[in-house]
Chains A and B, each alone.
Chain A
Amino acid sequence: MNYSFTSEQNDFRDVVRRYFSKTSPPNVVRRLMETDAGWERSQWDDMNAQLGLCGLHVPECYGGMGFGFVELGIVLEEMGRALVCSPFFGSAVMATAAILNAASEAQKLAWLPDLAAGRQVATLAFMEPGSGWRGDCAGTAARKSGEDSYELSGAKAYVLDGHTADAIIVAARREGSNDPQALSLFLVDGDAAGVLRTPLQTLDTTRKLARIDFSAAKAELVGEPDMAHEPLARTLAQAAAMLASEMIGGAERLRESALDYANLRVQFGRQISSFQAMKHRQADMLVEVELAKAAAYQAAQAAASDLPEFAAIASLAKAAASDACRQTAIHAVQVHGGVGFTWENDTHLWFKRAKSSEAFLGDAVWHREAMMQAWPTGRSDCL
């Protein structure tokens, strides 16, 4: 296990940070969050042309750059810091991971080069109205309609960028399967007949979610039938680890902006940062953010090394990030005082992302229980 980034990784972070500070300043975030799509193809294409980020962690044989989750985690941390409005998480993280984990070799060769280049945008639909975070309670059903084709019917909810994705990977059960609990994954064209996509009103308007109703929509089976349970769980654990990275990027931005403001703001004839109440709050914010960062970095490392205890560490990191992000966002508004509660001040943009991320892919309570179930048996220090 490495406890520091290599100098190449640090250089890479600098490049990514510079790129997003240029292309995703708050005025751009505000413009994009007001649009229906929530992102812009021209910006997406530029990011992929300049940095090739969608293919960063995709093996070279599928058109990617062959890096791993540590590098991907760096990208997400920087995206969280800059609150980048793009379909990256749904496409490059969730859908790409689902394909890598579940698809056949031929499907990987067919689909991944387009995703890695950003020519195609995909997402993963695993939740349903009222369902939990595990993604294994699919009421969506697939009926075999031909040699290699299926028809999907049912409803999916909370689908990240579901209203704009070119392709949707859907968790569903096969009608007539011997195992009624078994899950399969299907690929559905976003514009196929029988796909009704309804954008949902989101608390965080930089993160667009959709409900998708399928009625006999044409679908292609991803990988083996009835075998998706394990690859889906693995995909969601990888996504949770990467979301933790995105969250700590946002939390650190909030912490720093609160510190900057406390240093600028003068009351009672002195900078408010000279008051001990403010200093101790800032020290506590640093503690919370640094602990969550350590957990997120560990989770990215564990994902990259594919450690057996990865699922436990991913849940640990997501639970830590959920608590730290919420707390840091609350502190950040508080430190800004009245101005922190205005629309004009940028704090609320990151506050809302923190709140949405706190729940997305499972909140702290859910992940603490998931961690306890996945915790390797044995002594307390086995992680």
Chain B
Amino acid sequence: MTDQTEMAVRAEIRAWLDRNWDPSLSLVEWRERLVDSGWGTPTWPTRFFGRELDAPLSAIVEEEMRRVGAVGVARSGARNLAIQTLLSHGTDAQKLKFLRPTLTGAFSWCQLFSEPGSGSDLAGATTRADFVDGRWVVNGQKVWTTSADHADWGLLLARTDWDMPKHKGLSFFLIDMHQKGIEVRPLRQMNGYASFNEVFLTDAEVAAENLIGDLGSGWPVAATTLMHERSHGDPSAAKPTEPVNGLGRVHEEERREIEIATEPYGWYPQRAGRVDLILDRARETGTIEDPAIRQEIAKLMILDRSAKWLGLRARAPLAPGEGLGPTGSLIKLIGSIVARKAAEVHTYIAGADAMLAGGDGAHGGIVAEVLVSVPAVSIAGGTDEIQRNIIAERILGMPKDASVDVARPFRDVPKNTRG
């Protein structure tokens, strides 16, 4: 395997695609062939559905796949979080059991981390898992769970030891979402959408072999998941799955899969402020001639362009796939500032129309959607305040806040009361 040349790899994948690529297969059938051949994740170890190719050779595989329009493995959204977490922390048995059906798209996933009582303070989770009669019994509530309504499996962070300090008493599980102990309810947001769910766990069960990592080491495992979630949220990171415009059953099923995966994110561009609409809107409405509004537009444009250039500068020295580290917090905080300013300027441009929404609202309701979606951007994925703490402590090297909760049993730490 190690001395494979570019040409040999190209010849091999071409021959394999010739024999196996067939758009009339079902999506899962095709992906089973792909995963079992190792061509779906060619950089992975041979015994876990890979071929141990380096990145340049893997790029050749992707190129050949694109050339014939072949669909790739399923890696979007929470599936990728599950995959990355399993690769870093799963046992061989867990990898063998879960990676294949995840890559084929047979299993879909959700992430059961945030709770009503622990948002910024994720390690303060109070959902409990107790070991009873050879299996884990889970009780508690999770929130902001994308895709929980159709996920097959969940990545669960739960407390297994209440006498340890908070970071040491958590464990990480894979939980079967199809069981009677789990109730999923849509959570309606202030912008009217329900992109997330609340998940109620009442004596839900987890098999003993579905503990990931050691008992009590859930926090470092969750940190891996979160790291990949952040890089996923970074617009410069791996491109979202793009459907191949082919005909045939496999393509139809893939388009449906992407539709389901992206459905919750339809309002995300509005959440970021839609700066791209500002100049056109200002010209259409004539507000571009208003000297006071021009100043506000200019402030926004200066912020937005500077933010773009700062992002490009931050990423310029990075290798492909390398994360931004704490600089990501700076970029995220700036994104909030841009979005908030954009909502303000959209309001000036819309004038009285800022009072309207939907079909009566400005720009077909998009402006109204901006105004009521922007508040999410400074909360989701770590609030602005948390980003400022990270910037201060990890970029500027300022002392950590004196903590009152990490050096004593979690049982004794003040918590939000339920309900």
Residues of A bordering B, CB below 8 Å = 2-4, 259, 262-263, 270-271, 273-274, 276, 278-280, 282-284, 286-287, 290-295, 297-298, 316, 319-320, 365, 368-369, 371-372, 375, 379-381, 383
Contact = CB atoms under 8 A, between A and B. Distances in A.
Contacts of A381: 276
Contacts of B207: none
Contacts of A379: 276, 279-280
Contact of A283 (B294, B392, B400): B392
A311 to B, nearest CB: 14
Contacts of B313: 3-4, 294, 297
Nearest to B304: A380
A369 B298 contact: yes
A371 B298 contact: yes
Nearest to A292: B306
B396 A368 contact: no
Given A276-B389, A286-B396, A369-B294, A316 B333 contact: no
Given A276-B389, A279-B388, A319-B298, A294 B306 contact: yes
B278 interface: yes
Contacts of B294: 368-369, 372
B33 interface: no
A283 B390 CA distance: 9
Given A279-B393, A295-B305, 18 more contacts: A274-B399, A279-B392, A279-B401, A280-B392, A282-B396, A282-B398, A283-B333, A286-B391, A286-B396, A287-B333, A287-B334, A287-B337, A290-B310, A291-B310, A294-B310, A295-B302, A379-B280, A380-B277
A292 B302 CA distance: 9
Interface string B384-419: 010111011101101111100000000000000000
B305 A284 contact: no
A280 B392 CA distance: 7
9 contacts: A274-B398, A279-B393, A283-B388, A287-B337, A297-B309, A320-B302, A368-B295, A368-B298, A380-B277
B83 to A, nearest CB: 31
A160 to B, nearest CB: 25
Contacts of B291: 369
Contacts of B305: 295, 298, 316, 383
Nearest to B317: A4
A281 B294 CA distance: 29
A259 B400 CA distance: 15
The 5 A-B residue pairs with the shortest CB-CB distance in the complex, in nearest-first order: A279-B392, A368-B298, A294-B310, A283-B388, A3-B316
Contacts of A365: 295
Contacts of B299: 368
B297 interface: yes
Contact of A380 (B278, B306, B334): B278
Give the residue among B275, B310, B400 with the most A Cβ atoms within 10 A. B310
B169 to A, nearest CB: 26
Interface size bucket, B side?
Answer: 35 or more
B164 to A, nearest CB: 26
Given A282-B392, A380-B301, A295 B309 contact: yes
Contacts of A283: 333, 387-389, 391-392, 396
Give the residue among B299, B305, B391, B399 with the most A Cβ atoms within 10 A. B305
A245 B297 CA distance: 24
A375 B301 contact: yes
Contacts of B303: 291
Contacts, number: 122
Contacts of B275: 380
A2 B315 CA distance: 12
Contacts of B279: 375, 379-380
Contacts of B227: none
A286 B276 contact: no
A47 B364 CA distance: 62
B312 interface: yes
B226 to A, nearest CB: 20
Contacts of A286: 330, 391, 395-396
B318 to A, nearest CB: 10
Contacts of A284: 388
Contacts of B333: 283, 287
B357 interface: no
A298 B301 CA distance: 14
Contacts of A274: 398-402
B203 to A, nearest CB: 40
Contact of B309 (A3, A282, A372): A3
Contacts of B385: 280
B307 interface: yes
Contacts of B392: 279-280, 282-283
Nearest to A271: B399
Nearest to B329: A283
Contacts of B295: 365, 368-369
Interface in B309-360: 309-310, 312-313, 315-317, 330, 333-334, 337
A320 B305 CA distance: 11
Nearest to B310: A294
Contacts of A278: 398
Nearest to B291: A369
Contacts of A271: 399
Contacts of A297: 309, 313
